[in-house]
Structure 1
Amino acid sequence: MSGAAVAVAAVGAVFVFSGLESPLRGPCALLLLLGAPAGALALALRELEPLGRAVAAAAGALAVDLLVAQAMLALHIWSVRGGCAAVLAVSLLILVTARARRPRRPHSARSRTR
């Protein structure tokens, strides 16, 4: 199921960044705008229980989208491509920060005896 959502979001990215016109452009782009930050936040919030993580990731995704839109509108630089690129950049930043913050697992006893 999550693989299908990633595929639809990727199609949305292709539609948005290539400028292709299609009736599916809007729904696919919406899934991209909600799915990218939600996925990054869900990975960053691994210590929460699944339901709490899903709710927090969805709320955080909406917050990221609204903050990006507000900032771009305030600076008079709004565009669909720019908005999607900014949301993807923020999502990537969240993902990289979460991966860097995660402590590394110590080697197992088997790997130390070799």
Structure 2
Amino acid sequence: MQTIRIRTSSKDGADRARTGPHRDLSALLAGAATAVGGCGAVLALAGSDSPLRGPFTLFFLLAAPAVAIGAAVRGLAPLARVITALAGSIVVNMLVAQGMLATHHWSWRGGITAVTAISALLLLLVRVRRRGDRTTTGRTA
């Protein structure tokens, strides 16, 4: 049996104040982080001489795998999820660099492309897994 609760809002709008601006700020920060990371990847792949190329590319190389790993470990507590995502991001970057050095195919463009591909593949796998977990009626059991 399923219990349905109706949430009543307070007269002063305190419920709206707790959820509204916080959600807006999170979306804004996520969009800004995506823009900075994307600019870093584009600046690096284009070979730009901009002084922002280094920091933005470093941000991209840390953030892209971290977001993908953070999406994969959604069941963890928030702090554990952040720590796991950042550690996993460093591991992905180190494994890409080690693999490229071991095969004598090191290039910074190849490294950025490999990290991008691994992150995109991981996000795609998480998305497919989540879609497969749902049933056609939306009920789990």
CA deviation map 1:80-108 (0-9, x unaligned): 11100000111111111111222125535
**Residue 99 (structure 1) aligned to one of 127, 132, 140:** 127
Aligned in 2, Cα 1:105/1:7: closer, same or farther, shift over 3 Å? farther
Partner of 1:112: none
Partner of 2:58: 30
> Whose helix fraction is larger, Structure 1's or Structure 2's?
1
Partner of 2:99: 71
How far, CA to CA, are the matches of 2:46 and 2:92 in structure 1?
A: 23
Runs of 4+ off more than 2 Å: 105-109
Count of residues paired in the alignment: 109
Output the TM-score relative to the length of structure 2. 0.73
**Residue 75 (structure 2) aligned to one of 47, 58, 81:** 47
The residue identity in structure 2 corresponding to 1:63 is V
Aligned in 2, Cα 1:73/1:105: closer, same or farther, shift over 3 Å? same
Aligned in 2, Cα 1:68/1:108: closer, same or farther, shift over 3 Å? closer
How far, CA to CA, are the matches of 2:69 and 2:31 in structure 1?
A: 17
Say what the alpha-carbon RMSD is for the aligned residues: 1.4
Partner of 1:88: 116
- Matching of residue 21 in structure 1 with residue 49 in structure 2: yes
Output the TM-score relative to the length of structure 1. 0.89
The residue identity in structure 2 corresponding to 1:67 is L
CA deviation map 1:45-87 (0-9, x unaligned): 1111111111100000000000000000111111111100000
State the structure with bigger RCO (CA 8 A, min sep 6), 1 or 2. 1
The residue identity in structure 1 corresponding to 2:134 is R
What runs of 5+ residues in structure 2 fail to find an aligned partner? 1-28
Partner of 1:59: 87
How far, CA to CA, are the matches of 2:42 and 2:32 in structure 1?
A: 15
